[in-house]
Amino acid sequence: MTDPETREQTVLDAVGERRELVNQGIQEEMPIKRPERLWEASRYLLDAGGKRLRPTVLLVVGEALMDVEPLSTDYREFPSLADQPVDLMAAAVSVEVIQTFTLIHDDIMDDDDLRRGVPAVHKEFDLDTAILAGDTLYSSAFEIMLNANAPSSEVVAAMDTLASTCTKICEGQSLDVAFEERADVLPEEYLEMIEQKTAVLYAASAAIAAELLSADDATVDALYGYGLDIGRAFQIQDDVLDLTVPSEQLGKQRGSDLVENKQTLITVHAREQGVDVDNLVDTDSVEDVTEAEIDEAVQALEESGSIAYANDKARELVERGKERLECLPDNEARDLLCDIADYLIERGY
C-alpha cells in the first residue's frame, strides 16, 4: 500500500504536469478577442489558477481506457475505440470552463469576495460583467466541446452529458441556497444537493472521456459513478477543510461556511446530535469573526462526532468510487485514478 504522502506527491505531480497542458489548451481555445473587456473578465478566474482536477480526471480516464502510458500521447490527437483520433484536450478545457462559469455566478449569489486568492469577478470587474462573463464561458464550453472531433454520435452523447450536468448544477445550487433558510436539512438531502451541485461535474468529466472515445454504455456508466462518488467525497472534504485549514492557505476566511450559515454535512450531522449549530459563531460577517470563535466551534463539532462522521462518509464514497474503476484495464493510469480518489480526501487544502 502506498502511504498518503507518497500518494499526494504522485497525484500533485500528475495534476501539475497536466495543468500546464490544460492551461495551454485554455489559451488556445479561448483567446482574448473583441470585446476585450468581456473576454478578459471571462478569462480572469480561469487564469487565476485552480488545480485543474476535473480536466485531469478526464484526461487520465482517457489514458486508462485506451491503455496508454500516462503523458505518452498527444491529447489533441488521442487514439479512440472508433477509427478517428479525438481531441481530448478540447473536452478537458470544456469542463474546466463550465466549472469556472459556475464559480463566477456562485460567487455573486454567495457574495463571496475572494476566489483562488484573488477578488471574485464581480468584485474585480462589476456585477453585470460577471454575469455576462459567466454566460460567455457557458456557451464557450459547448463550442469547445464541439471541437473534440469525435464521431457525431459520440459528440452528441458528450453534449447531452454536459448540458444535463449544467442543469443539475443549477438545481444543486438552488437547493444549496434554499437550505440556508432551513434548520432541518437531513444528511441524505445534503448528500443529494452536493451530488447535483458538485459531484456531477466530476461524473461528467469521467463519463465524457469515455463517451468521446466510443466506450460502451456500461463503462460510461461506471465512470460516471466514479465521478459522482469522488465528487461528493471532494465536497465533503472541502467542508472539513473550511474548518481545519488556516485562512491564508484556504485563500479565504477559515470557518466561513459556519459564519455564513451554510449547511455542510458536518453541521447537518451536528444538528441531528442536538448541537445548537446556528449559535456556534455569533457574527454573520467573515470580517468580524475571530480565530478563537472558530476554534471553539470546531471543538464542539469534534465533540459531537460530526467531523469524524464527515470523514467516514468521504472515505466510504472514495472506496466505492475506486471499485467502479474495475471496468477499466489494469494499468498505471487506472492506479492514478485510484490515487486521485484517495488524494481528494487526504489533501490538506
Contact residues for its own copies, defined by CB under 8 A? 34-35, 37-38, 105, 108-109, 127-129, 131-132, 134-136, 138-140, 142-143, 146, 151-153, 155-156, 159-160, 162-167, 170-171, 173-175, 177-178
| 3 state DSSP class of 114 | strand
Question: How many CB atoms sit inside 10 A of residue 345's CB?
Answer: 20
Q: H-helix or E-strand containing 228?
A: helix 217-244
CA distance 284 to 88: 44
Smallest separation, CB 179 to its own copies (Å): 10
Nearer to its own copies, 175 or 294 (CB): 175
Smallest separation, CB 18 to its own copies (Å): 25
Smallest separation, CB 33 to its own copies (Å): 9
Smallest separation, CB 135 to its own copies (Å): 5
Dig out the grid coordinates for 188 from the structure.
441524505
Nearer to its own copies, 173 or 256 (CB): 173
Smallest separation, CB 78 to its own copies (Å): 19
Nearer to its own copies, 92 or 325 (CB): 92
Nearer to its own copies, 181 or 248 (CB): 181
User: What is the DSSP secondary-structure string of 121-183?
Assistant: HHHHS-HHHHHHHHHHHHHHHHHHHGGG---HHHHHHHHHHHHHHHHHHHHHHHHHHHHTT-S
Q: Positive or negative, the Cα torsion across 120, 38, 98, 44?
A: negative
Smallest separation, CB 167 to its own copies (Å): 4
Nearer to its own copies, 96 or 339 (CB): 96
Nearer to its own copies, 69 or 127 (CB): 127
Smallest separation, CB 40 to its own copies (Å): 11
φ, ψ of residue 195 in degrees (nearest 5):
-60, -45
Which residue, 63, 150, 81, is CA-closest to 333?
63
CA distance 186 to 177: 15
Nearer to its own copies, 178 or 183 (CB): 178
Cα distances from 236 to residues 31, 137, 193, 313, 340, in angstroms, run 35, 27, 12, 8, 15
